[in-house]
Amino acid sequence: MSEQSPLDLAEGDPFGPHNLPYGVFTTPAEPERRRIGVRIGGYVLDAGAAALALGSPYAALLDRPTLNPLLAAGRTAWRDVRRALTAWVTVPAHRADVEPLLHPLDDVTLHLPYEVADYVDFYASEHHATNVGRMFRPDSEPLTPNWKHLPIGYHGRAGTVVVSGTEVVRPRGQRKAPADPAPVFGPSVKLDIEAEVAFLVGTPTAQGSPVPLADFREHVFGLSLLNDWSARDIQAWEYVPLGPFLGKSFATSVSAWVTPLEALDAARTAPPARDVPPLPYLDDSADEEPGGFDIRISVAVNGHVIAEPPFAGMYWTAAQQLAHMTVNGASLRTGDLFASGTVSGPELHQRGSLLELTWNGRDPLALPSGTRTFLEDGDTVTLTAWSPGPDGTRVGLGEVTGRISPSPGG
Amino acid sequence: MSEQSPLDLAEGDPFGPHNLPYGVFTTPAEPERRRIGVRIGGYVLDAGAAALALGSPYAALLDRPTLNPLLAAGRTAWRDVRRALTAWVTVPAHRADVEPLLHPLDDVTLHLPYEVADYVDFYASEHHATNVGRMFRPDSEPLTPNWKHLPIGYHGRAGTVVVSGTEVVRPRGQRKAPADPAPVFGPSVKLDIEAEVAFLVGTPTAQGSPVPLADFREHVFGLSLLNDWSARDIQAWEYVPLGPFLGKSFATSVSAWVTPLEALDAARTAPPARDVPPLPYLDDSADEEPGGFDIRISVAVNGHVIAEPPFAGMYWTAAQQLAHMTVNGASLRTGDLFASGTVSGPELHQRGSLLELTWNGRDPLALPSGTRTFLEDGDTVTLTAWSPGPDGTRVGLGEVTGRISPSPGG
């Protein structure tokens, strides 16, 4: 043990013991052995090894290759495991056991930490939906008549949800501008990002059992940043009448870190006032706990911040999305992931997609790495975020990053 | 062994040794032990037990609780296992070993035989899409401009795909007729069926590797009947702009039996002439094997046949759907299921949904069980089908059935 312990964090470290997000990692020495890790400062604690070393009853949940057993264990287990972990990284008596089980972040490989069951993407920012409506349906009201009555969402492709760091191959597909006589096929020329927050379901439900607003915490384990890569040209040509398909299904990147809901208690915030009263199953006006989360997102292209979307302003909350998604009796499975939709605020600098930032290419962005309308091959996009934590601290959300590689033959 | 063996099938039995669909079953004696079964006549052969009894090298694929290992084993294994099964049920020398492993169909419980990875639903019948367009968008061309250029599809909810026989609870949700001032919430009053054929993916692909038309048989193991239950009132209110969501996600019923593609070689048929030339990745005009399947579907409500939709007339083939679904680089997983969309032919009696049969309720059907526009609580819907087999035989497809139970509190 060195004098300077990895557990002696700098004042205000956003990955301090008040945070403790979960992931799954391997080491170069054992590249096949996936293990659950908990991030603390710049280190990953081998949580399963710690549980075994300390004789914890939670070894059965932590000494595993994925988070799924912990996710399925339910809210009481989530709380108890978190308490144990907090003790392991804060109580001096544990240091001798814990320190040898810490791996510098740079020395490990992070993996998708759970098996995604169903993936649903919502459309919950009024600013985003309004911007998109103005661009794609200029002759109609920007918001469709249903928008303020229900959180619009659709199912995405669970099999192409990839962990942060995975290269994203530029998709090929059909596109057709309105003036073109016929569609053409080729690499997307409008490859975009969507800065989102994704919620991860732990506790499943039976078919026919809706989840009321008040039960949100019984079912949702935590959240992560997510980039819902979108090929705008493919999407625009395909999406009427059944919604987005190939314009989205090629890849969705999610952070390697899942922040437990409990770490975000201080980030709870009231959602915007709703100018249309929601139906009772969506009415959160009397809820004790505010349904929003104050999450400050940064979107960077090649290291340069291009937007800072505020999650606090989302019209529909995650609890409303969960209540809506299940009100028809649809069941939940452990590993279901549902994302917010692009987070955009009212200001230009708060828009979470290049589509909005450049107004569909009309207003290019001047970046240090060159002028951009949409993404170019070789571009790296990184989302980071933080939330207010207890006592003036910050809770860091694990980043999600991805680099665009060229289409094969494209 | 009785004189009359279960293997002595009636002449022309549609579940003869030329068929051999796969399922998963349990017996009342061992209700927890799921096993792979192969249907022969009115019996289920315990395929794993047969493989073990006969010392087959395929026991590792057949003595399993799901089809997933067999699905993942690839086309050569599919062919070889089928050859072995054919010998077990036809070669007299095997009878003494095989007959004790046959269970009468009525004595077993059938289960969903594979884990569904992603579920995609297409929209491939020109007649269906035209009918729906006329009803839902009366002021526009019935087919959207993209319809003849690409097989339109969207992702459905994999977690609510249920096996034939599962009760379907009437979903609740929001609906709003155009003249209504605001949406109301309650049990769907337009619960419908969609008669479809679903294709099951066996061999997975890596992200970034499209599946060309010619590789269809390398990846698709077989097919099943599917009923994509649809709440038309919920769907109509929610589906613009991102497509169907809660109007579909409450339940999708699939047959307990998967018919291997090889059993349908004699059912291959040319798809309709395409009046718009497809882009090269969808152009099957030079393919040696015709891309269509001659499958004759019957839709019955409470035992009364209300429609006979012809699958042979589908505009887009399953091979085209697979090529399209992956052309953007989306990967396939073992257990991916993609369905055709409602099968409707040009005639009134060939329409695969009540929406079309009753023209959205305008023209009720007079059934022995009463007049129907959409489904009522207690109704049982059953899809059956057959295809031409070798030498004038018929290949039966396993039925898919479901009964509507009332909404809770509804």
pLDDT digits (tens, 9 = 90+) for A224-239: 999 999 999 999 999 9
DSSP A290: -
Asked if B359 is an interface residue toward chain A (Cβ–Cβ < 8 A), one would say no
Q: Could you give the CA distance from residue B66 to residue B68 in angstroms, rounded to a whole number?
A: 5
Q: Quote the CA–CA distance of A317 and A340 in Å, as a whole number.
A: 8
The answer to whether residue B206 neighbours chain A at the CB level (below 8 Å) is no
Confidence class for position A168, pLDDT limits 50, 70, 90: very high
pLDDT at A352 over 80: yes
A249, B173: Cβ pair inside 8 Å? no
Question: Quick check: A2 pLDDT over 70?
Answer: no
Rounded to the nearest integer, the mean pLDDT of chain A is 97
A168 touches chain B (CB under 8 A): no
SS (H, E, C) A34-96: EEEEEEECCEEEEHHHHHHHCCCCCHHHHCCCCCHHHHHCCHHHHHHHHHHHHHHHHCHHHHH
How confident is the model over B326-350, as a mean pLDDT? Answer: 98
For residue B268, the SS3 value is strand
Three-state secondary structure readout of B26-63: EECCEEEEEEEEEEECCEEEEHHHHHHHCCCCCHHHHC
Nearest CB among A118, A162, A329 relative to B250 is that of A329
Which chain B residues have a beta carbon less than 8 Å from that of A118? 157-159
A173, β-bridge pairs: A186
B117-155 pLDDT, tens digit per residue, is: 999 999 999 999 999 999 988 999 999 999 999 999 999
- Using a CB-CB cut-off of 8 Å, the residues of chain A touching B328 are 171-173, 231, 234, 246-247, 249-250
Range with lowest mean pLDDT among A2-16, A151-165, B82-96:
A2-16
- Give the per-residue pLDDT at A170: 98
CB atoms within 10 A of CB A140: 13
- Pick among A155, A203, A327 to test the B interface (most B CBs inside 10 A): A155
Residue B142 forms contact with A (CB below 8 Å): no
The answer on pLDDT for A337 being more than 50 is: yes
In angstroms, the Cα distances linking A116 to A159, A197, A200, A298 are 8, 15, 9, 25
Alpha-carbon gap, residue B147 to A67, rounded angstroms: 42
What percentage of chain B has pLDDT greater than the value 70?
Answer: 99
Marked catalytic residue, from B18, B127, B128, B324: B128
User: Is the predicted pLDDT of residue A1 greater than 70, yes or no?
Assistant: no
- How far is the C-alpha of A64 from the C-alpha of A46, rounded, in Å? 11
Is A403 an interface residue toward B (CB < 8 Å)? Answer: no
Hey, what long-range contacts does B130-139 have (CB within 8 A, 24 or more apart)? B131/B344, B131/B351, B131/B355, B131/B356, B132/B355, B132/B356, B133/A241, B135/B355, B135/B359, B135/B360, B136/A241, B136/B236, B137/A241
Is B3 annotated in a binding site? The answer is: no
Chain A: nearest CA to B277, how far in angstroms? 10
Residues B201-214, mean pLDDT to the nearest whole number: 97
* B155 included as an active-site residue: no
Strand partners, B119: B156, B337
Closest in B137, B169, B332 to A329, CB measured: B169
Q: Return the pLDDT at A410.
A: 56
List the one residue out of B48, B38, B53, B49 whose CA is nearest residue B7.
B38
DSSP letter for each residue of B308-369 = --BGGG-SS-HHHHHHHHHTTS----TT-EEE------SSGGG-SSHHHHTTTTTS-EEETT
| ipTM score for this prediction | 0.97
Other C-beta atoms lying within 10 Å of the C-beta of residue A76: 9
Check if the beta carbon of residue A394 is closer than 8 Å to that of residue A18: no
CB B39, CB B275: distance < 8 Å: no
Residues of A in contact with B250 (CB under 8 A): 207, 328-330
Residues of A in contact with B145 (CB under 8 A): 176
B185/A330 Cβ within 8 A: no
pLDDT higher than 50, residue A77 = yes
Which chain B residues touch A169 with a CB distance below 8 Å? 207-208, 329
d(CA A186, CA B344): 33
Residue contact B246–A328, C-beta within 8 A: yes
A183 touches B: beta carbon within 8 Å = yes
Separation in Å, CA of A183 to nearest CA in chain B: 8
Residue A406 forms contact with B (CB below 8 Å): no
A245 at B interface, C-beta within 8 A:
yes
Where do we find the tokens 């030329």? B18
Question: How would you label B29-57 residue by residue, b for 16+ Cβ within 10 Å and e otherwise?
Answer: eeeeebbbbbbbbebbbbbbbbbebbebe
> Which whole number is the average pLDDT over B271-294?
95
pLDDT single digits (tens) B215-263 = 999 999 999 999 999 999 999 999 999 999 999 999 999 999 999 999 9
What's the mean pLDDT in B182-192? 98
Chain A residue closest in CA terms to B336: A159
* Domain architecture of chain B: domains with CATH: 22-111 (2.30.30.230), 119-405 (3.90.850.10)
Determine if the peptide bond prior to B31 is cis (ω within 30°): no
CA atoms within 13 A on the CB side of B324: 31
DSSP 3-state assignment of A385?
Answer: strand
A82 and B CB contact within 8 Å: no
pLDDT tops 50 at residue B1: no
For testing the chain A interface, which of B328, B333, B338, B405 should be mutated: the one with the most A CBs within 10 Å?
B328
How many Cβ atoms sit within 10 Å of the Cβ of residue A49? 19
**Residue B279 with chain A: CB contacts under 8 Å:** 174, 183, 185
CB contact under 8 A, B159 and A238: no
Does the structure show a pLDDT above 60 at A383? yes
Residue of B nearest to A236 (CA): B146
- Range A98-102 average pLDDT: 97
Residues 6+ apart with CB under 8 A from B57: none
Contact in structure between A210 and A329 (CB atoms under 8 Å)? yes
- Whether residue A3 is predicted with pLDDT greater than 70 in this model: the reply is no
Q: Is B287 annotated as a binding residue?
A: no
Cβ-contact B222, B21 below 8 angstroms: yes
- State yes or no: pLDDT of A398 exceeds 80: yes
What is the share, in percent, of chain A residues with pLDDT greater than 90?
Answer: 96
